[in-house]
Amino acid sequence: MAKVNPEFATEIKKYGAHDFNACFNCGNCTATCSLSDNNSSFPRKLVRYSVLGLESEIEASIDPWLCYYCGECSTTCPREASPGELMMSLRRWLTAKYDWTGLSGLMYKYLPFTIFAFLATALAVILFAFSKSFEVDTIMHFGHQFEMWAIIIVFTAILIPNLARMWWFVILKPKIKVKFLTYVKGMQELFTHMFTQKRTLGCDDSQSRWLIHLIIVLGYLSLLFTTVVLDWFGTNSLFIILLGYAESIVLFTLTFIFVRGRIKKNKELNKFSQPSDWLFVIWLFLMAFSAFLVRIFIDLDFIETNLWLYLFHLTVLVQWAVLIVPFGKWTHFLYRSFAMYFEKIKQPA
């Protein structure tokens, strides 16, 4: 027996959902959603659960991750209940739910907190530079070290435990029995999705969206690899230098296109951008663009006299690594892939 909880609506509205109460269960959203299959009543079921506030059902559901926000449902909803936006908000809510630190929730719900966190990290970077008497080499060396450690710590301390929590909510708590072998077999699904976002191909509108998305993911991962492992800023290898340039150019150009899209609000999914959506693309853009400039400055031997640029890049990087990656929208990339994985292994073979 599930308890009806009207407070849930208030809570989920803080994550950006609106008007979904107006739903009168016509099912148009399910009919138009190109990702809904015959028996899933998707996304109407989640709209209904949210209206009723059936928290434990939602918490155990991976459905929100299966939506790629083409916005078709919101366009056809006769009650303007914005089911697509609700799905987006449920993803934010789930992210907060999985996150053991609780910081995700704070960042999604309270803009001032997010601003404060970003300013604090910026201040920390400047204070650190001050403590090192603004020495370029030391700072750049630290920067490189930081990247490596940040990745390790964020993963072990935050992302892996959070994934474990997701596993608990989705599989263990609802007492779904999954054989060990199934876990192993499903791995393939996990990686395909992580890198290709294969599911978006099912969306009617998004052949190009899927491609851009794929390039951004690959561009981001390889730039990360180039800077962290191949030490782009320190290397003398022409190949690596050019590779880094190419990757960063691709990344900031594409993210720029994304940002422009959000500003123009030309698509349904862009109508209600939240601060977290903005942060994600803008920071990705800033990161790629500032990295690109830093490397140019290095090549032109300007960097010694223009330490501010590196500090700017470092600030963006730190904010990205300690705020956006563990607590922001970056995690969606991870949870989405795992959701597909769990979905796969949940099905009885």
Partner 1 sequence: MKERIGVYICHCGGNISDYVDVEEIGKMLKTDDGVVISKDVMFACADSNQKDMISDIKEYKLDAIVVASCSPKLHLHTFKNVAERAGLNPTNYVQVNIREQCSWPHSDKPREASVKAAGLIRAGIKRVAYSESLDNIEINVKKAVLVVGAGVSGMKAAIDLARLGNEVYLIETDYFVGGHITQTENLFTTGQNGKEIVSRLYAEIKSYNNITLFTGTSVEKVSGSLGNFAIDIRIKPRYINGKADLQAVQNAMNDCTVLVNDDFNFGFTKRKAIYKNYPEALPDVTVVNAEALKNEKEFLAKHASCLDLTQQDEILSLTAGSVLVTTGFDSYQPKEGEYGYKTFSNVVTLPELNRLIELNPDKLIFNNKPVKKIAFIYCVGNRQTKGENKYCSRQCCSSAINSSLQLADKYKGINAYHLFRDIRTYGKQELMYEKSSKQGDIYIRFDEKEPPVVEQNEKTLNIKVKDYLTSKKELEIEADLVVLVTGMVAREDSKQISEKFKIPIGTDKFFNEIHPKLKPVETVIKGVYIGGSCQGPKNISESVQSSLSAASKINALLKGGTVSLDPVIARVNNDACVWCGKCAEVCEYTAIKEIESGDKHIAAVNKAICTGCGICAPVCPTNAIEIAQFTDNEIESMIDGFMEKIDLKVREKESESTEEVSGVKMKEYPQLWKNILETMNGNKLTIPEISEKLEVDKDIITYHVMTMHKYNVVVTEGMDKKELYYYYKLKN
User: Which listed residue (84, 143, 219, 244) binds ligand SF4 by CB under 6 A?
Assistant: 84
**Does position 307 bind ligand SF4 by CB under 6 A?**
no
**Does position 165 bind partner 1 by CB under 8 A?**
no
Scanning residues 210 to 239, which ones bind partner 1 (CB under 8 A)? Answer: none
Angular region, 186: left φ>0, alpha ψ -120 to 50, beta rest: alpha
Give the integer Cα–Cα distance in Å for 307 and 304: 6
Q: Six-digit token pair at 313?
A: 């890049």
Least distance to partner 1, CB of residue 210, Å: 33
**Does position 29 bind ligand SF4 by CB under 6 A?**
yes
**Which partner from the list ligand SF4, partner 1, none does 72 bind, CB cut-off 5 to 8 Å by kind?**
ligand SF4
**Which partner from the list partner 1, ligand SF4, none does 77 bind, CB cut-off 5 to 8 Å by kind?**
ligand SF4
Closest CA to 147 of 36, 255, 287, 334: 287
Give the integer Cα–Cα distance in Å for 311 and 317: 10
> With 0-12 CB in 10 A as exposed, 13-18 as middle and 19+ as buried, what is 64?
buried
Give the integer Cα–Cα distance in Å for 184 and 195: 18
Give the integer Cα–Cα distance in Å for 60 and 62: 7
**Does position 341 bind ligand SF4 by CB under 6 A?**
no
Q: Are 45 and 39 in contact (CB under 8 A)?
A: no
Residue (47 or 243) nearer to ligand SF4, CB: 47
Scanning residues 9 to 48, which ones bind partner 1 (CB under 8 A)? Answer: 9, 19, 21-25, 41, 45, 48
Q: Are 51 and 78 in contact (CB under 8 A)?
A: no
Residue (6 or 102) nearer to partner 1, CB: 6
Q: Which spans of this chain sit near partner 1 (rule: CB under 8 A)?
A: 1-4, 6, 9, 19, 21-25, 41, 45, 48-49, 51-52, 54, 79
Q: Which spans of this chain sit near ligand SF4 (rule: CB under 6 A)?
A: 23-29, 32-33, 35, 43-44, 47, 67-73, 77-79, 81, 83-84, 87
